[in-house]
Amino acid sequence: PLATSPFHVPRVIAHRGACASAPENTLAAFRRAHELGARWVEFDVKLTADGRPVVFHDNTLDRTTDGSGPMADTPLAALGDLDAGKWFDPDFAGELVPTLEEVLDLLVEMDLGANMELKPCPGREAETAAVALDVARGLWPTEAPPLLMSSFSRVALDTARQIAPQWPRGLLVEALTDDWRAAAQEVEAWSIHCAQDPLGPAAVAEMLDAGYRVMVYTVNDPGRALNMWDWGVHAIFTDRPEVLLPLAGT
Ligand code: G3P
Ligand code: MG
């Protein structure tokens, strides 16, 4: 692992922005995370039909916009007609699906760090990583700590490694399978990002002993977060930074 990196990650990361109190992956959610005191946010990136990177979680538009169908079939211009806020609450009507450029500009303005999760639509793994890295490297200040890349896709992470080897990478896993070390070594991971269930203290110790930072998603329960930090988990992705931040200490 890139264990000697001077990179600092806070104990609380606002998942998809502060997505319990604003519509996920919108500019409103990142502003809310900042207002609530988060120092870092996590967001998801995928490509439109015309190959532009946008900040969006699902493969289809249906759940978090008033549109429908696959993102991979939707050109960027068509996203401008879709509302990405009112599904969450009428107060957020008018929020749009943001481009990666818009999100990064806002984060720089608010001085927030970030984990950029590469969330490719199936078959677009390498392309998504290449385009997202290209945009991010053009926009992110060279004097700022780099973005932390992550993905469930090993192809996306390996593409990121080839394009920007100095930007740290996090291997996303749902559970710690037998091949986790090989996968982490292959992409030269800096961190391992695990689902909170079924993670236990022994698995956390195994990753820490191997020299990796350990980050866990998605924890909204304060007691569970305190347990994780006791086990040595470095950072927690939460939809409710306002609940965990007061418990996080530094
Ligand atoms: O990056 C942590 C977490 O966001 C991974 O799962 O589905 O919420 O993107 P998901
Ligand atoms: Mg994510």
Instruction: Write down the pLDDT at residue 12.
Output: 98
Q: Which residues contact 94 (CB under 8 A, 6 or more apart)?
A: 83, 85, 86
**Mean pLDDT across 173-197:** 94
Q: How far is the CA of 217 from the centre of ligand 1 (A)?
A: 7
Q: Which residues contact 241 (CB under 8 A, 6 or more apart)?
A: 12, 13, 14, 18, 33, 36, 37, 38
Among 169, 193, 218, 233, the mutation site with the greatest number of ligand 1 atoms within 8 A of its Cβ is 218
* Among 247, 241, 244, CA closest to 42: 241
Render pLDDT for 203-234 as a digit per residue (tens, 0 to 9). Answer: 999 999 999 999 999 999 999 999 999 999 99
Domain ranges of the chain: 12-59+99-247
The reply to whether 57 belongs to the active site is yes
Q: How far is the CA of 116 from the centre of ligand 1 (A)?
A: 10
pLDDT of 147 above 90: yes
The reply to whether 15 belongs to the active site is yes
Render pLDDT for 32-77 as a digit per residue (tens, 0 to 9). Answer: 999 999 999 999 999 999 999 999 999 999 999 999 999 999 999 9
Closest protein CA for atom 10 of ligand 1: 57
Closest protein CA for atom 1 of ligand 1: 117
Catalytic residue among 15, 34, 193, 234: 15
Instruction: Write down the pLDDT at residue 7.
Output: 76
Report the mean per-residue pLDDT for the chain. Answer: 95
Among 57, 58, 115, 117, the mutation site with the greatest number of ligand 1 atoms within 8 A of its Cβ is 117
The answer, yes or no, to whether any atom of ligand 1 lies below 6 A from the CB of 25, is no
Render pLDDT for 7-18 as a digit per residue (tens, 0 to 9). Answer: 789 999 999 999
Task: Quote ipTM for the complex.
Answer: 0.99
Query: In which band, very low, low, confident or very high, does the pLDDT at 4 lie, cut at 50, 70 and 90?
Result: very low
Q: How far apart are CA 9 and CA 81, in angstroms?
A: 36
**Mean pLDDT across 117-121:** 97
The domain defined by 12-59+99-247 folds into TIM Barrel (3.20.20)
Question: Hey, what are 221's tokens?
Answer: 């329960």
User: Coil, strand or helix: which one is 15?
Assistant: strand
Q: Distance from CA of residue 243 to its chain's centroid?
A: 19
Question: Hey, what are 26's tokens?
Answer: 């919108």
Closest protein CA for atom 5 of ligand 1: 217
Q: How far is the CA of 192 from the centre of ligand 1 (A)?
A: 12
